[in-house]
Structure formats: structure tokens, C-alpha cells
Structure 1
């Protein structure tokens, strides 16, 4: 009898993209709320022009990126998927006999979406964007498994959650 990970159907690239876009929308709203609050605070205490007026943006990006990264790690460690993946009915499972640890999932989250913490910092934001773009492109060219570098680092793959009784629900 085949292992559940081998019977699982690999999620399509567009399902993964839509799941991330759903999450990006929510965390984007969080970023803007944080940015407006910080901008107001810095303006009221007369420090808005500190570092060329970029300080609220840097702190907001770092804070929102940190929250997103920690959320991604905790969600995958406890339930095997994030809310965007739940909406798209996909989940993260161990790849072909791999043992997935919480530490491996932390590395996965630090590689993607971790670079969002750097988005407000000049020059580093370009590097973060290149990493995000590169992860997406590598998922597209990895046929048939569609595993990105963050999946390979953690020993995971993203599959469709078909709701079968034998579908993997969580990590062992």
C-alpha cells in the first residue's frame, strides 16, 4: 500500500499563488494600519524626518513581515496549512518519506515569506523581491512536483486537500 504522501495530488501553481495572494491582501492591510499608526506617532513627536522619513515604513515592513513569517511557521507546524491554503483547499505535507520538523518548517518560512521583513529597507528590498520572484519561478519550473526551494529545504510538498478519509491532515 502506498504512503499517503505518494497518493496525494500535487497542488497547481495557480492554487498556491491565489493562496499567497489572499494572505498578502490581509497582511497588506495589517502593514498599512501599522504604517499609518507609526507615521502618526513619528509625526506627533517630531521624528518623521528621521532617516529621510523612511523610518515608519521600515518598521512597518519589518513588523508585518515578522508577523507573516511567524504566522506561516506556526500555521504549518500546527495544522499543515495557512488560511489562504485552507480557502484554496491545499496543504503542506511531508515529501516522499521525509520527516518534517518544526525547525525545518521555520527554515521554510524564513526563506519564504521571511524576506518580506526586508521590504522597507533600501537596496535590501530589491534583494527580497528577487528572492520572492525566484521562489515563484523555481516552483513553476520544477515539474511535476512544483516544489520551491523553501519546500525542498523543509522536505515538504503542497498538495490538494481532496477531503478523502485517508488524506493527510497533519504532520506525524
Structure 2
């Protein structure tokens, strides 16, 4: 005689871990944070350090650079296809295109950051380094916060030298802050944490 299904609880499939009480992702308990890690009080998550954030930002700069060059190449190919008889461009066009390329960097960084942070809370660089931007009060990140944070970080890049100096100082503020917040994090009331 077989056991009725209501007396025979379903078995865990082979290879899938059994859940632990109070555990983390995948059924296993969350690993304890490193001894020197700073914990954000509102979220209980480990705050990202300066070096960790710098690594993510270097990856993002590399990716933005590739996107800007691809966009520039695409525009030039479009112009060449649209005006096949044009042998050379005017000085006004060259000046406009040069200024756009020089000062448009801040807009490109802003749009890149805003798109990814608004969608997922992390840029590709942050995904690769396991970081996430969250609201400082533990609430879900709002569109306004992601836009303000991205604008405060990205748009200063449009000012050659001064903008980069501002971004550098903004990043250094995070290394001495209790919540590891840079200036753009403070403006948007966000923190960068290590994702689980």
C-alpha cells in the first residue's frame, strides 16, 4: 500500500540546498561581515569602501568611453551616408562637434549613471564589483534620488579641470565620512553598500 500524498511531504530536489533558519541567499546563512567593515545602521548592510567604489567607477568610465566613441562613430557614418557629396565639413560644424565632444562628457556620464541606477540601483561597474546604491533611510531608491545623484556626479564632468577636481574631492569625502557618503550621495540621501 502506498502512502497518500498528504502524509508524504515533498522532498527537496537533489542539488538544491535546504534552507537554514535566518539564512541568506541560496538557502545558506549570510556570511558574517569582515571585522573592520562599517555597517550602515538603517539598512544593516556593509558600506562600500573608497577603493571598492573607485574600482567600480574605473570600469564605468571605461564603458562610458566606449559608448561615447561608438556614438561619435555612428554620427560620423550617418553624416557621411546622408551627404555623400560633401568633401569636407565647415569650420562651424567642426567647432560645434568638438565642443559637444569636449563638454558633452558630463551629460554622457549623467545619462549612463541615471539609466542604470534608476533601473537596477547599480551601474555595470557596480554590478561587477558587487556594489549597490540604496537610499540612506533604508527605503527603496526613488527616481528623484537616482536623477539627483547622477546629475550631481555626472554633470560637473562637463567643466574641464574644475569638474574633475570637484568629482575627485567628492570621492575623497566618502573616505572620511561615517556613512561613506560622497558629496553626491549626501545631496541625494543615498549610500553605496556591498550587495549580497
TM range (shorter): 0.7 to 0.9
Relative contact order higher in (CA < 8 Å, ≥ 6 apart): 1
1:115 is matched with which residue?
156
Assess, with a 3 A threshold, how the Cα gap between structure 1 residues 78 and 30 changes in structure 2: closer, same or farther.
closer
Instruction: Please report the RMSD computed on the Cα atoms of aligned residues, expressed in angstroms.
Output: 2.9
Deviation at 1:99, TM superposition (A): 6.6
2:167 is matched with which residue?
132
User: Does residue 1:105 correspond to 2:146, yes or no?
Assistant: yes
Assess, with a 3 A threshold, how the Cα gap between structure 1 residues 57 and 102 changes in structure 2: closer, same or farther.
same
Q: Distance in 2 between matches of 1:19 and 1:108?
A: 16
Q: SS state of the match for residue 89, structure 2? A: coil
Q: Distance in 1 between matches of 2:95 and 2:174?
A: 33
2:51 is matched with which residue?
14
Paired residue total? 151
Deviation at 1:54, TM superposition (A): 4.8
Q: Distance in 1 between matches of 2:52 and 2:63?
A: 17
Q: Distance in 2 between matches of 1:39 and 1:125?
A: 24
8 A Cα contact 2:49 2:175, kept in partner: no
Q: SS state of the match for residue 187, structure 2? A: helix
Assess, with a 3 A threshold, how the Cα gap between structure 1 residues 44 and 150 changes in structure 2: closer, same or farther.
farther
Q: SS state of the match for residue 6, structure 1? A: coil
Assess, with a 3 A threshold, how the Cα gap between structure 1 residues 5 and 61 changes in structure 2: closer, same or farther.
farther
Per-residue CA shift, 1:96-148, capped at 9, x if unaligned? 346742112211111102222x1xxxxx3122112111211211221x32101
Equivalence map 1:9-158=2 (5 Å): 9-35=46-72, 44-47=87-90, 49-50=91-92, 54-97=95-138, 100-116=141-157, 118=158, 124-142=159-177, 144-158=178-192
Which structure would you say has the larger Rg?
2
Q: Distance in 2 between matches of 1:36 and 1:61?
A: 15
1:121 is matched with which residue?
none
